[in-house]
A and B are shown apart, each in its own frame.
Chain A
Amino acid sequence: MKINKLFTKSFPYILLIILTLPIILGYLWIVITTFSTRIYGLIPVDQSGNYFRGLTLSNWTFLTDKTKTLNVSIWLLTFNTLIIAVGLTVGVVLISMMAGYALSRIKFPGRKPFLSLTLILHSFPSVTLLIAIYFVLRWIARIPILGRGIPIIGGFGYNTLGGVILVSIALQLPLGIWLMKGFFDNVSWDLERAALIDGCSRWRTWWQIMVPQIMPGIAALSIFSFMEGWKSFLIPYSFMTSHARATLSTLLNEMMSESSPTDYGTLAAVGLFQLLPIIIFYLFTQKYLLNIFSGGVKGTA
């Protein structure tokens, strides 16, 4: 009876550990690899294959050297990645807040079609549109100033950081709009009504009354967008040609390249380097992040 009870009690834990095992082993492998010359399974080995030897810090030299594959500094790439992540976050949050508010609070013709549209676009095969998006970016590049005359982000056309940010924002928008709408839906009507009767404009009501009410939602969307921007690969890779504008993910991809000396120790180290800030960030913000998915389906759940 006692054993039986112990079993029922520990069973969930055992099951959970077994199911989670690949994740645990995988990340363990990444960490060990970054400190080893060679590795067999989870055991570091040295050049001649002796077990538990060959621990090294040499995989981390990319932090100070110019990286071996790209002839630019890792910190420049980190900076570029940061710009994309921040640009994407600010853009998505601001634009989704505006649209989400209108969709939640204002009645206008075409509201329902617009909402169903965002729901469909929510999970649209956007990657399949890469070539077509390339054309669009090329046309934007031809607009004077806007196209390619803006400092830091370069502009919004093809081969600029701004262009990459713009495309990423667009692809993220349906989720953002839908989410923001969900949060606005939950804000009390009286609050807004009072403000409007007091003579506030829609814009002031939006910015001063409504936006502060959905801070948890904004936090969630910001964190989510930042993470997406930080790890994005396909779009920066496809639409930026210059190396000075590469990102950490593009660097990783280059290091994975076939038929070239692939230094997996360094590769894992760069991967960990890119992952660490996100993990730290995540640990501090996870309770907000959880809102992102629950917010969207709340009320109807």
Chain B
Amino acid sequence: MKRLTFLIILLALPALIFAGGQKEKAKTTGPQTVTITVWAKANNVEHWRADAAVPAAKALNAELKKEGKNITVVVKPIYDNTPWGQYKNKFTMAADAGEGPDIICSGHEDVPVWAQAGYIIPLANSVSQIQGMYPEFGDVIDSLWNATMWHQKVWAVPQDTEARPMFFSKTNLKKMGWTDAQVKALPEKINSGQFTLSDLIKTAQEAIKKGVVKPGFGFWHRPKKGGDYIQFYVSYGGKVYDPVKDKLILDKNALLKWYQFQRKVVTTGITPKNYIGTEWKIWHDTVSHNNALFWNGGIWQWADWKTNYLNGDESILFKNVGYALIPSGIRGKEGNTLSHPLVYMVTTEKASGHKYRDLVIRLLAFMTTKEINTKHALQSTHLGILKSQMQYKPYLDAKFLSSVTYMLKHNWYQPNDSYYGQWFDIVWKGMTNAENGVKTPQAAVDLVVKEMKIELGDNVIIK
């Protein structure tokens, strides 16, 4: 960096004036006001990701007053609904310029990247240490801390999590002649690996044959880029990460089977041709109005369908829609689901331009309460993250949430590895090539392997 700066200054005389710079004046006496900014990527039903800071600050201020400290915390919650890539880009630039927020809510996969770049601070050296720090942190479901770890340190506090089920239309299955009991047993059959992805294809083909759904409406997978697809790679026995060697894995065999599956859904006519890239509006409209047989998405979409497509009438959804894990591709192997916990990270003094990191962490503790988190969980249909929520009445009363919580027993996380983004991009491109028939699945796999070697070299183990 110094070399770069030097060169630039040489090149640009005007830049010479730029010496100096702003430094925060730290007041040491008298009443202080500390402003804490929180950024979250959220839409209108997820705004508690940022707004959680408001009630939390109130509680924190009361506590500070009790302790006789002359500090008032003011929070600035900002939620942003731009695509993930742009959101992360904006944070990176802001943090590097020393204008980042104090708390950033993002996917857990950003932990290694931002930790390495020096934008966020480690919160504790071990899970037990952070659990002992504040009772609220002790309340967080143990396994979720795994998603916040990188290089044996805890870098973040979970905010929410979810499951990504395979949805199915109960009413359409019945129209095909399934009995109530058969429909009801489907999630369990998927769970135990008796109903596999090839059964899904067969069932969907049958539905089209019987005219229950229109051709191409048998299976609507997620229409756009996202981690969800890797679930099918996992279904075929693929592994993403080797925790012992701390390296990414590419399993050629599972990759090929997965690509073959993605191609097969098109050739069997259960998914439309050239389907990837379909507008979300069209996707939501189709699945929420019972026009498809199978579709895979995320539990948070339930709130979306209810609020934005069905005039708030959840009963229609309960009547029509069933949900289960993502079926396995191998008979007898259990289903899986991807969880992608969002986490709060605390930025460094340099990235935010502010001091008082301990106060920020303390605010985070106050944001991690069952009351606040349940509000978020209910409004956005995300899963809770606290042990106490599992006995908290308002949370238990949410019929949908309590009926999908079991999926967390079968979930997996994407790895906290700074090369995962590149790994994903290559695999995704290969998949679209295969599904759209641009390349045969085998040729797509070969290309992925070749590119993986060039882009990631030793950072990935290819099996």
Among B77-85, B328-336, B392-400, which stretch is in contact with chain A?
B77-85
Which parts of B162-192 form the interface with A (CB within 8 Å)?
none
Contact across chains for B307 and A261 when beta carbons are under 8 A apart? yes
Which parts of B76-124 form the interface with A (CB within 8 Å)?
78-83, 86, 89-90, 93-94, 96-97, 99
Partner of B18, one of A140, A250, A259, A261: A140
Smallest beta-carbon distance B84→chain A, Å:
8
Per the bound structure, the CA–CA distance linking A38 and B81 in Å amounts to 23
Partner of B43, one of A139, A141, A243, A261: A261
Question: A144 — nearest CB in chain B belongs to which residue?
Answer: B20
- Is residue A262 contacting chain B, with contact meaning CB distance below 8 A? yes
Contact across chains for B281 and A257 when beta carbons are under 8 A apart? no
Smallest beta-carbon distance A240→chain B, Å:
9
Contact across chains for A261 and B99 when beta carbons are under 8 A apart? no
- Is residue B45 contacting chain A, with contact meaning CB distance below 8 A? yes
With A47-B311, A158-B97, A237-B86: A69-B43 Cβ-Cβ less than 8 Å: yes
- Is residue A105 contacting chain B, with contact meaning CB distance below 8 A? no
- Count of residues in B whose CB is under 8 Å from the partner chain: 40
- Is residue A275 contacting chain B, with contact meaning CB distance below 8 A? no
Contact across chains for A69 and B18 when beta carbons are under 8 A apart? no
Contact across chains for B304 and A143 when beta carbons are under 8 A apart? no
With A69-B43, A243-B78: A159-B94 Cβ-Cβ less than 8 Å: yes
Across-interface contacts of B371 in A (CB, < 8 A):
none
A interface, over-half SS:
loop
- Count of residues in A whose CB is under 8 Å from the partner chain: 37
Q: Max chain A CB contacts within 10 Å: which of B18, B86, B96, B298? A: B18
Partner of A241, one of B81, B90, B281: B90
Which parts of A243-290 form the interface with B (CB within 8 Å)?
243, 250, 253-255, 257-264
Question: A251 — nearest CB in chain B belongs to which residue?
Answer: B81
Contact across chains for B44 and A139 when beta carbons are under 8 A apart? no
- Is residue B350 contacting chain A, with contact meaning CB distance below 8 A? no
Smallest beta-carbon distance A26→chain B, Å:
15
- Is residue B285 contacting chain A, with contact meaning CB distance below 8 A? yes
Per the bound structure, the CA–CA distance linking A49 and B281 in Å amounts to 15
Smallest beta-carbon distance A95→chain B, Å:
16
Contact across chains for A241 and B99 when beta carbons are under 8 A apart? yes
Across-interface contacts of A69 in B (CB, < 8 A):
43-44, 81
Which parts of A127-157 form the interface with B (CB within 8 Å)?
134-135, 138-144, 148
Contact across chains for A260 and B81 when beta carbons are under 8 A apart? yes
Across-interface contacts of A70 in B (CB, < 8 A):
81
With A257-B43, A258-B224, A258-B280: A142-B83 Cβ-Cβ less than 8 Å: no
- Is residue A68 contacting chain B, with contact meaning CB distance below 8 A? yes
- Is residue A294 contacting chain B, with contact meaning CB distance below 8 A? no
- Is residue B15 contacting chain A, with contact meaning CB distance below 8 A? yes
- Is residue A4 contacting chain B, with contact meaning CB distance below 8 A? no
Across-interface contacts of B80 in A (CB, < 8 A):
243, 254
Across-interface contacts of A253 in B (CB, < 8 A):
82, 86
Smallest beta-carbon distance A7→chain B, Å:
39
Partner of B44, one of A134, A239, A241, A261: A261
Question: B89 — nearest CB in chain A belongs to which residue?
Answer: A238
Smallest beta-carbon distance B100→chain A, Å:
8
Smallest beta-carbon distance A270→chain B, Å:
13
CB 8 Å contact bits of B1-42 with A (1 = contact, 0 = none) = 000000010000001011111100000000000000000000
- Is residue A71 contacting chain B, with contact meaning CB distance below 8 A? yes
Smallest beta-carbon distance B90→chain A, Å:
6
Contact across chains for B304 and A261 when beta carbons are under 8 A apart? yes
- Is residue B239 contacting chain A, with contact meaning CB distance below 8 A? no
Across-interface contacts of B281 in A (CB, < 8 A):
262, 264
Per the bound structure, the CA–CA distance linking A41 and B97 in Å amounts to 47
Nearest first, the 6 A-B pairs at minimum CB distance are A260-B43, A254-B81, A261-B304, A261-B308, A241-B94, A68-B44
Q: List 6 A-B contacts (CB under 8 A).
A: A144-B20, A239-B93, A241-B99, A253-B82, A254-B80, A261-B43
Known: A69-B43, A237-B82, A260-B81. 17 other contacts (CB 8 A): A47-B311, A69-B44, A139-B18, A140-B18, A141-B97, A142-B18, A142-B20, A142-B21, A144-B20, A238-B90, A253-B82, A254-B81, A257-B81, A257-B83, A261-B43, A261-B284, A264-B281
